Amino acid sequence: MSDVNLIPAGRLVGKRRKARLYLWGTVCGVYACMIAAGSLTFHVAHAGESRRQTGQLEAADKQIEQDNRTMLDLRRHLAETMTVLETTKAIHGQPDWSKLLIGLSAQLDDEIVLSRYQFTTLTSDNKVITVEGSGSLPAAPLGVFLTECRHTLTLHGFGKSQEAVSRFVLRLEGSGVFDLVRLVNSSRQTFLNGEAVAFSVECHL
């Protein structure tokens, strides 16, 4: 005896349709849960990566700031070192004035006596350099500034006669040390137990 299905065909079709819908709904639900879990995992990982990158950027900014401070300190130290080196080189390149005085003594004789001398340094615009006026000197490199300066040696003394003074001036001119030698003044004055010619001579270097 064969089985006879007495359930109407329409109901069987609806039942099968509901079963398929349930199956697809379950599959879609599982798929949606997997997508949500994957998205959550991605966001958590991305947030951790963002925090790590933010920390790295902050550390890099701090390192850059520290390097900049170190560089500024090195530049300041280099500038100070260069100033000291320039000063040392400029001073080392200056004439040995003690040799000038030794050479000057060779121009004296029994008829000339020096009482004092004055050494003056002039800037390129003929201003006298003094300790009090050092603050107003131009802000030029020391080596360049000293090269542009001129010097004047003023000699004061006594000669036995006007002719002795003139011969002394001629010897200074003939020494080749000075650019210009000029007799500023001369006059007869009492010297020791007699008379002598007091004089002043400017020697330009």
* Cβ partners under 8 Å of residue 187, min gap 6: 197, 198
Q: Which residues are registered as beta bridge partners of 199?
A: 157, 186
Q: Check whether residue 148 and residue 70 sit in a common domain.
A: no
Distances in Å between the alpha carbon of 121 and those of 98, 117, 192? 16, 13, 33
**Whether residue 122 sits in one domain with residue 71:** no
Structural domain ending residue among the three candidates 93, 122, 152: 93
Do 65 and 136 lie in one domain? The reply is: no
Average pLDDT per run of 10 along the chain, which is 205 residues long?
55 68 75 77 70 79 85 80 62 65 82 88 70 48 61 90 92 88 90 86 89
Domain termination residue (choose one: 74, 93, 112): 93
For residues 117 and 155, is the Cβ–Cβ distance under 8 A?
yes
Whether residues 103 and 198 share a domain: the answer is yes
Provide DSSP, 42-72.
HHHHHHHHHHHHHHHHHHHHHHHHHHHHHHH
pLDDT of residue 169: 92
pLDDT value for 162:
93
| 166 shares a domain with 130 | yes
Helices vs. strands in the chain: H and E counts, helices first = 4, 4
Amino acid at 105: S
Name residues whose C-beta falls within 8 Å of residue 151's C-beta, 6 or more positions apart in sequence.
Answer: 119, 120, 121, 122, 204, 205
Q: Do 86 and 183 fall into the same domain?
A: no
pTM of the shown model: 0.49
> Where a domain ends, among 93, 123, 155?
93
Residue 105 has what pLDDT? 82
Domain that holds residue 19: 1-93
Q: Are residues 19 and 77 in the same domain?
A: yes
Asked if 124 and 40 sit in the same domain, the reply is no
Same domain, 65 and 107: no
Q: What is the CA radius of gyration of the chain?
A: 51
Residues 69 and 132 placed together within one structural domain of the fold: no
Same structural domain, 54 and 145? no
Q: What is the CATH number of the domain that holds 183?
A: 3.30.70
Q: Which two tokens stand for residue 70?
A: 């170190």
Number of domains in the chain: 2
Phi, psi of 119, rounded to the nearest 5 degrees: -105, 125
- What's the confidence (pLDDT) of residue 84? 63
- Residues 6 or more apart in contact with residue 164 via CB below 8 angstroms: 109, 111, 112, 197
Based on the fold, state whether residues 107 and 88 are members of the same structural domain: no
The span from the CA of 175 to the CA of 106, in Å, is 10
